[in-house]
Chain A
Amino acid sequence: MAISSSAASARGSGFLSLRLPTVRGWIGNIGWPILLKELRGDFRRSRFFVTHFMCVLAIAIGVMVQIWIKRESENLTSVQLGRSLFDTFFGIQFLVVLIVFPALTSTAFTEERANKSLDLLITTDLRPGELVLGKFLATSAYCLITVFATVPLLAISTLFGGVQIEEIFIAYAILVGHTLVVAMIGVFFSSCYSANLRSTLTVYTIVFGYMAMLWFTLWDPVKKAWQEAGDRTLIAVLMQRIAGSASADEMAVTGGEGVQLLIGLVLVVGFAFAYLFTLTTNRVRTSTDDKSSNLRALTTLLLFLYLLACVVQPSPDASNRLEQMVRIDSILATRVWTSLLILFVAALTFPTEPLELSRRVQARFSRLRGPLAALRIFAPGSFWGLLYLAFLLVVSTAALLLLLQHAASWLDAGTLASVEDQQRWYSLIDRWRDVIITFPLYVLAFGALGFYLSSSGFTRGYCFLTVFFIFIITLLLPVIFEFQKFPDGIFSLYYLSPFTLWSSLNPPELPDEDGPRFVVLGGVAIIDFAKVFYPVLTAVLTGWAIAIARRRGVPLARMARRVGLKARAAA
């Protein structure tokens, strides 16, 4: 039996077997083969049934225990019981999503690596995006089955009444949204490691960090509002808070802000999703096919959209000048810190990439000549990554300074009642100017550190983690020094901390023991010291990295124009 002949006969059979793309064929191009294979394999494992049974059992026990407890309470109406059961159901289901699903999602690619089957997949005709999408859809489907398998349990709570259909939809939207995000995070980290355990632990660290953030930032105000609202479900209280219709307290927002918040949330999650997806596809590509330029394009788009939104920011409304000043301060804080966060993610990601570029990638970018040669900053590799970061920092600084200039025009200092208020307004503008100029330099120094580590031949994961670790350390320095009462001096690293810099710009109104002494270092304001120190540090690290790269014989700015047979033909 000859394959060629069978294939040929199959291709020739029937007039409908044309080469035109079919809907099924198109669907097959978006990860369908992987999805089908994964579902077939996963659903036949006993793990599937055991996991789902245990999850449903946990929720069922929770609901039953709640019924048992509430049965004892007096004066509990049927509606109250229904709402209480709904809250219990949602709470346990939410915990299942965050505690059980990371284990199910974080092995998507590590299993392929452990099984030594990833090379087989890469050498097929599937694009890396299809591989990742297939894995993502498969892990999501695996988890979503648990989410939807609990619908009958939810139905028990609706029997008692008191729960609106909208609340059910919103609850499921939250659960499904979190499931998809956990699945994407799991798939991403599974592409970073070859061992299941490492990937799973990393995903759990991220998810527990998220849970801790929810706990510390949201739980107290939501709980307070929940108790105040009395006979309402948790979902109803959350929605009420977002819609801003509740009484004013620290959680209250206006209706318009609520919509803005939701749109902002969707955009942030959407970008995070796109970012993780692009990162993951690049992790499963071969080095010859490096497309981390896509990630740079995405980051540029995200940052530019955000900066554009910042620059066109309208003046905030306020009942009086002082309140307006506070609101302007708040707007500047949000915009500047968010931009710096995006820039820091870029500093962690791009200059920590491997130093050497594949010849194919070099050839691709060497085609950019003349004015287009500037686009080479989108090329992969740590050297170009650092240049790209510098470009982002320059653009961001310019845009934020524009925003600051814009913000300065929102309030006429002459209209402020007292001289103190006028001084506060001027110092507010000066403070943000210092932050906008100095903190990007701080971020650039981390980019240079990543480039230095990468040129020294460390792995990407090591470079990434080291830069991140040192960033955390610099953040914690004030805490460490404060706790240990370490004497601060001119050589103290304490002054490198962004917290120290920030506190130097916000000296306490009442001088105390720890107040103004951090403002000045050797007679120079430490913010001015930082403006010189960080560029010098960046220059030293970059120069060192370039020297190492040259010693290793790695070309940095030079790119091979041709590759393979074309290069030979040209020669």
Chain B
Amino acid sequence: MVVVRDLRMVFGETVALDGISFEIGEGQIFGFIGPNGAGKTTTIKILATLLEPTSGDLSIAGLDVLEQPDEVRRIVGYMPDEFGVYEGITVWEYLEFFAGAFRVPPRERRTIVGGVLELTDLDPLQDRMVASLSKGMRQRLCLAKTLIHDPRVLILDEPASAMDPRARIELRALLKELRTMGKTILISSHILTELSDVCDSVGIIEKGKILEWGEVDRIIGRLKPRRTVHVTFHREFPAASEILATHPHVNEVNANGREVHFEYLGDPESFHAVLKLLVDREAPILAIRQEAADLERVFMEVTRGDLQ
């Protein structure tokens, strides 16, 4: 649905994007991750037809973003990271205005605005002035505006940055619902836990380059990042540290009373060998908990934190 090839953007002396490429399949949620200044917003603005890249190709739903920007705008819903809302009008009027701006026929506007309000849980606030909404609510309103013309592709730049935890959970649920409706979603966020739960695939960008992109599980599996394992015993088992340290893929063993924590660097498939070491020495194992490698860890593993 979204194809980006060798995208390059140069502002004067600064190379904002240095040949990035990725693809998003139809109905997928793609998480765009990167530190500040990595080039996320520039990429998003190019996809939203607001900027022209120095070179590279982009297509959305088979439409060339550079050649057919007007057609692209009709099928894309864009939510910028920083945006303003018109404070002198009500929530309903705000959405009605954007419905008009997207040429939704007047006859259909009431139904569609009502539907979008319901979908985004803003219907109780429809008569409230926009000026009286909190920042999180405004963000939700902007998301509602993004949906008003029923776009096939949603491009959301930091959509939850001002939302409270509850609103974030609701946003995740909303994104999942939109996915079931067949929408393709590109979402950028700093809050990685937010993305790991909903994204089918991610792209990690730093200094204008895509470091990794693909399905979340595949990336995690490929990068084989460290996993922290917590083992709890019935009683104190002082030999645990010594036993575990003998395994070549175990690192940083810390014993704390009846608990032992260690880093496991090997394949998930051969983790049983570690357990076997303990069981063979009759370790009184009560519980084993493994912290699954998540997007945050992958991100830290892949990026270097250099500023551009």
Contact B67 A33 (CB under 8 A): no
Interface size on A, residues (CB 8 A): 57
Distance of A138 from chain B, by nearest CB (Å): 12
Q: Which residue of A lies closest to B94 (CB)?
A: A37
Distance of A359 from chain B, by nearest CB (Å): 6
Distance of B101 from chain A, by nearest CB (Å): 4
Q: What does the 1/0 interface line of B133-147 toward A look like (CB < 8 Å)?
A: 000000000100101
Which residues from chain B contact A517 at a C-beta distance below 8 Å? none
Number of A-B contacts (CB under 8 A): 157
Which residues from chain B contact A16 at a C-beta distance below 8 Å? 107
Which residues from chain A contact B150 at a C-beta distance below 8 Å? 3-4, 7
Known: A7-B112, A125-B74. A14 touches B101 (CB 8 A): no
Q: What does the 1/0 interface line of A1-43 toward B look like (CB < 8 Å)?
A: 1111111011101101100001011001100111011001110
Alpha-carbon distance A166/B58, docked complex (angstroms): 62
Tell whether A220 is near chain B: CB-to-CB under 8 Å.
Answer: no
Interface residues of B (CB under 8 A from A): 5, 12, 45, 48-52, 57-59, 64-67, 69-70, 73-74, 76, 78, 80, 82-89, 93, 97-98, 100-103, 105-108, 111-112, 114-116, 118-119, 142, 145, 147, 149-150, 181-182
Tell whether A45 is near chain B: CB-to-CB under 8 Å.
Answer: yes
Which residues from chain B contact A25 at a C-beta distance below 8 Å? 103, 105-106
Contact A123 B49 (CB under 8 A): yes
Contact B181 A2 (CB under 8 A): yes
Tell whether A568 is near chain B: CB-to-CB under 8 Å.
Answer: yes
Known: A3-B181, A6-B114, A564-B58. A116 touches B83 (CB 8 A): yes
Q: What does the 1/0 interface line of A261-282 toward B look like (CB < 8 Å)?
A: 0000000000000000000000
Distance of B99 from chain A, by nearest CB (Å): 8
Tell whether A531 is near chain B: CB-to-CB under 8 Å.
Answer: no
21 example contacts (A-B, Cβ-Cβ < 8 A) are as follows: A2-B119, A3-B112, A7-B108, A9-B111, A10-B108, A13-B111, A16-B107, A25-B106, A28-B103, A36-B97, A37-B93, A115-B84, A115-B85, A116-B82, A116-B83, A119-B45, A119-B50, A120-B142, A125-B101, A564-B64, A564-B66
Contact A10 B84 (CB under 8 A): no
Contact B57 A564 (CB under 8 A): yes
Among A45, A359, A566, the residue within 8 A (CB) of B88 is A45
Contact A24 B67 (CB under 8 A): no
Contact A360 B83 (CB under 8 A): no
Known: A2-B115, A37-B89. A123 touches B65 (CB 8 A): no
Distance of B74 from chain A, by nearest CB (Å): 6
Which residues A114-153 have CB closer than 8 A to chain B?
A: 114-117, 119-126
Distance of A125 from chain B, by nearest CB (Å): 5
Among A11, A22, A28, A289, the residue within 8 A (CB) of B69 is A289
